[in-house]
Amino acid sequence: AQSVTQLDSHVSVSEGTPVLLRCNYSSSYSPSLFWYVQHPNKGLQLLLKYTSAATLVKGINGFEAEFKKSETSFHLTKPSAHMSDAAEYFCVVSDNSGNTPLVFGKGTRLSVIA
């Protein structure tokens, strides 16, 4: 069985300051890990993915995540928050076999204060 735990339901940062959204995973297999973003009234968009290549993954809009097997973590970071980053972020796990359902965390709502 696989699961993800997003440690914060809501994170608030000031514009221009770093962003850290925390995620821990549990998987019986070598996992694939993702971060998706959902802006209000919009669909889910893939930010970045880890699929057993480089452990530091770069995504769109300046976001990065680092896969740490020893800590079973896949935290999402960005050096400097922008107002447009305000959205809901989901950490997601699936097994590494290709076409399998995604298992989503409960989400972290990111607020960016001017």
Partner 1 sequence: GAGVSQSPRYKVTKRGQDVALRCDPISGHVSLYWYRQALGQGPEFLTYFNYEAQQDKSGLPNDRFSAERPEGSISTLTIQRTEQRDSAMYRCASSLGSGRSTYNEQFFGPGTRLTVL
**Residue ranges in contact with partner 1 by CB under 8 A:** 32, 42-46, 49, 51, 90, 92, 96-99, 101-107
Cα–Cα dist 114/67, whole Å: 31
Tell the smallest beta-carbon distance from residue 72 to partner 1 (Å): 18
Angle at 111 between CA 83 and CA 113, to 5 degrees: 60
CB closer to partner 1, 20 vs 46: 46
Tell the smallest beta-carbon distance from residue 114 to partner 1 (Å): 25
CB closer to partner 1, 70 vs 97: 97
Q: Which two tokens stand for residue 68?
A: 């740490």
Kindly report the number of other CB atoms within 10 A of residue 32's CB atom.
21
